[in-house]
Amino acid sequence: MVNEYIFFDAALRDRFVGFLAARGISGELRADAMEGFVVALADDLDDDLDDDLEEAIEDEYTTLMEAQRDLVEAADGDNTLALMAVTITLPDGQPGVVRIPARHARRLFAHFSVEEVHELVAAIAQSVANPVAGPLCQRDYPAP
């Protein structure tokens, strides 16, 4: 699994990259296909991260996403169109982005980790891409 982190502000992206570098972690930087920047950590890095470091990275990203939200809201005032983007991989392998209105994203992040939000959105995308007819309790329902 590739851990990807999206940013809409270069300074916040750079702060995250600095946070990673201070811990000896490098990431691939690229422009997002829709808007903003992506910092992607290597596939094999998951095996090298201990739980505390993984949690520290997620906490830092959550903090930066809150700062991003504050920047957007401050720049646009009451007429803000604030969105959160969650990157996903569709069942056919194509990358995609799910945009979530900020009012919903804030509530999600108040109760779920970044990883859990990504898993939830990916499960919804999977279900939309491959709908299952019939009752919810059927036994052959595919696992996400």
Q: Taking residues 61-84, report their average pLDDT.
A: 71
Short-list 84, 115, 109, CA closest to 98: 84
Question: Facing residues of 89 across strands?
Answer: 95
Quickly state the pLDDT bin for 18 (edges 50, 70, 90): very high
Quickly state the pLDDT bin for 142 (edges 50, 70, 90): low
In whole angstroms, give the CA distance from residue 74 to residue 116.
28
pLDDT in tens, 32-47: 877 788 898 876 665 6
Question: What per-residue confidence (pLDDT) applies to 1?
Answer: 43
State pTM to two decimals: 0.53
pLDDT in tens, 93-137: 777 778 888 777 777 877 887 778 878 888 888 888 888 777 767
